[in-house]
Structure 1
Amino acid sequence: MDAPLWTETHAPSLEELPQPGVRDSFERAVDEPMNLVVYGPRGAGKTAGVRALADAAHDDPNDFVEINVDDFFSRRKTEIKNDPRFERFLVGRSRMSKRDMINHVLKESASYAPVSGTYRTVLLDNAEAIREDFQQALRRVMERHHATTQFVIATRQPSKLIPPIRSRCFDVRVRAPTHDEVVGALERIVEAEDVAYDADGLEYVAGYAEGDIRRAVLGAQTTVEQEGELTMQTAYEALGDLGLTTRVEEMLDAAVAGEFADARKTLDDLLVDEGYDGGEVLGDLLRVARSRRSGRELAELHRLAGEVDLDLAEGTSDRIHIGHLLAELGR
């Protein structure tokens, strides 16, 4: 999508979060700042909820720091050092190991005094990829800056967090929104966009998303951008499985041809812009491959896919593991 994403332009306020229990927990955290572990399935609205919490808690946006753990652990040192979000922390520190870079950014982010109010909020997002040595460093930072910094750890797998961190945080479970809650969120957005829609179109997109509110919002935006309105017919035309299959075919062709950058870009588009999860992309990739390959090649692909599926089930980065499979295909 070239236009601004609706997930950003129509990010919910605290009062607009679809799950009542989550709203109540975050409202208490505004009134009485506390460290949180926010957990739930992909697309349930964990990140959007924490952003809404921070918006309600802080008068100045600089008092909210968002660090995506995957941005560190899936990238090279040079990419981290040149990222505009982190480069100011790392000037003159190119000899640091990647682990030390991560620890330094975290310490600096937590140590700044609040611009307004009495505390800052630091979100560590996608924390299922966080290693134990980094968790130990995080524990020490949490201890040192507990008076002025609220730490929020968002993850799909809270069981991977070490006990000293869990004991310093209150749990907030973000369940997948119900079908009706997704429909309500979509209705709020299309009303704000002033686009033509009908109830059947909202119902179709909510069913298509299967409890993933990010996917629902991006699906609605895709439909409106392609078809000009949101009805059941236009949603079906825009969101049918053929759209995913075509993109996966392009990605597979690029990977086999050794054009890894192109394959990785398509993968990023599917996971980030289009809102598919790794399991959906992997399943469609196998369906496409079965129509094109046989014998040892297909057996090897299934072996690689089995390893990736296990990694995805353990909650680590979809982008890393499917990217590894694409690289292996090119090799």
Structure 2
Amino acid sequence: MTEVISLMDIDDDDDNNNNNNNNNKGKNVVVPGESKATPWVEKYRPQSLADVAAHRDIVDTIDRLTSENRLPHLLLYGPPGTGKTSTILAVARKLYGAQFHNMILELNASDDRGIDVVRQQIQDFASTQSFSFGAKASVKLILLDEADAMTKDAQFALRRVIEKYTRNTRFALICNHVNKIIPALQSRCTRFRFAPLDSFHVTERLKHVIEAEKLDVPETGLAALVRLSNGDMRKALNILQSTHMASQQITEEAVYLCTGNPLPKDIEQISYWLLNESFTESFKRISEMKTRKGLALVDIVREVTMFVFKIKMPSDIRVQLINDMADIEYRLSLACNDRLQLGSLIASFTRARSALVAAAN
């Protein structure tokens, strides 16, 4: 078994003071004079593992492994905005303290994803000796964000680098789609899945930011932020900051207008037309609303799909309708004609309406 190198423990106040200027180079440190220009995603990024509110089971496990000097290679995967990068950066701060920037190599694999990066930049960093402080030494950390964008050749080369430099280097791979990581890399890492955040954790974090920034956000506005985020904390904070720039009061309507999403009342109106009006009338009214409010048809289809779950109807009719809308959304993603797809949407509801009438009789 590979010998475990003791992790560095730097908590000395003098060291922290002497390296204050170096600390300010970190992307998570907010310079007071630049706080207004700082994206809130970075300004309120958790600085320690204790600050990571969600996924406590994963965070506590990684924290325990770090404390016991048994940190393995990590593979963190899941949807965007669920705390993967924040967690591993908090681990790095716990390990290295003031020497954070000397002991970590952070690469975005979507930009640096070729085999040359593995053979040169990563291997050069991994092959150098770790910094030692008296009797204490530490493994270094290489963070590969968006690792699922790496080429297959680069992943195979990385497999060998991980094996060769395990003694003095740990690798943390972060990705959205774990199936794009080759099995040989997956088997060398401890895997943790970060699921979308639940509404409670998104709401609590948003309330913290709202209080810190002294924002005027009614309950309906907060609910809209949580709903549109879909468990993505990064998206929630970006919407909050964007809406604040456009409106003094962050109401539900302001949130939807800022993001370009259809308002719930607009979706209810569109659904009413689809279920009750003729093909020609529905096409005319939806097209007029779509143009007047600048709505994207793909957003309308997505929101109407969610609305269908609230309508009482036989399950077979509901399933067919949802499948039809999924097909429409897929065709829209391929840049198919909006007018044709709107006609297809109305036709699907016309068939569903006929099926409902037949079932009632």
Shorter-normalised TM range: 0.5 to 0.7
Gaps of 5+ in 1: 74-97, 250-279, 294-331
Cα separation, partners in 2 of 1:119 and 1:198, compared to 1, 3 Å:
farther
- 2:24 is matched with none
Cα separation, partners in 2 of 1:248 and 1:111, compared to 1, 3 Å:
farther
Preserved CA contact (<8 Å) 1:7 1:217: yes
Tell me the CA shift for residue 107 of structure 1: 0.7
Q: What percentage of aligned pairs have identical amino acids?
A: 27
Match for 1:144 among 156, 164, 180? 164
- 1:99 is matched with 115
Between the aligned partners of 1:284 and 1:226, the Cα distance in structure 2 is 29
- 2:42 is matched with 8
Tell me the CA shift for residue 115 of structure 1: 4.2
Between the aligned partners of 2:220 and 2:131, the Cα distance in structure 1 is 47
- 2:231 is matched with 211
| Pairing 1:169-318 to 2, within 5 Å after superposition | 169-241=189-261, 283=332, 286=335, 289-291=337-339
1:22 and 2:58 matched = yes
- 1:113 is matched with 129
2:202 is paired with a residue of what secondary structure? helix
Cα separation, partners in 2 of 1:110 and 1:230, compared to 1, 3 Å:
farther
Tell me the CA shift for residue 9 of structure 1: 1.2
Per-residue CA shift, 1:243-294, capped at 9, x if unaligned?
9x96989xxxxxxxxxxxxxxxxxxxxxxxxxxxxxx99957848x52599x
Task: Tell me the TM-score normalised to structure 1 length.
Answer: 0.63
2:112 is paired with a residue of what secondary structure? helix
Between the aligned partners of 1:213 and 1:100, the Cα distance in structure 2 is 34
Match for 1:43 among 69, 81, 85? 81
Task: Tell me the TM-score normalised to structure 2 length.
Answer: 0.58
- 1:316 is matched with none
- Which amino acid in 2 is paired with 1:61? F
Cα separation, partners in 2 of 1:207 and 1:247, compared to 1, 3 Å:
closer
| Pairing 1:157-168 to 2, within 5 Å after superposition | 157-168=177-188
Tell me the CA shift for residue 160 of structure 1: 3.1
Cα separation, partners in 2 of 1:126 and 1:283, compared to 1, 3 Å:
farther
Per-residue CA shift, 1:215-266, capped at 9, x if unaligned?
11111111111113433343233223279x96989xxxxxxxxxxxxxxxxx
Match for 1:55 among 77, 93, 96? 93
Between the aligned partners of 1:112 and 1:281, the Cα distance in structure 2 is 48
1:131 and 2:169 matched = no
Tell me the matched-pair count.
238
Cα separation, partners in 2 of 1:29 and 1:228, compared to 1, 3 Å:
farther
Per-residue CA shift, 1:158-191, capped at 9, x if unaligned?
2333333222211111111001111112112222
Cα separation, partners in 2 of 1:286 and 1:160, compared to 1, 3 Å:
closer
**138-147 or 152-161, which moves further after superposition?**
152-161
Cα separation, partners in 2 of 1:171 and 1:144, compared to 1, 3 Å:
same
Q: Which has the larger radius of gyration?
A: 2
Cα separation, partners in 2 of 1:209 and 1:163, compared to 1, 3 Å:
same
Preserved CA contact (<8 Å) 1:120 1:149: yes
- 1:322 is matched with none
Cα separation, partners in 2 of 1:190 and 1:26, compared to 1, 3 Å:
farther
1:7 is paired with a residue of what secondary structure? helix
Gaps of 5+ in 2: 1-35, 264-292, 298-328, 342-361
Between the aligned partners of 1:246 and 1:5, the Cα distance in structure 2 is 27
* Cα RMSD, aligned residues only: 3.3
Between the aligned partners of 2:108 and 2:128, the Cα distance in structure 1 is 19
Preserved CA contact (<8 Å) 1:124 1:152: yes
- Which amino acid in 1 is paired with 2:94? A
1:58 is paired with a residue of what secondary structure? helix
Between the aligned partners of 1:199 and 1:113, the Cα distance in structure 2 is 54
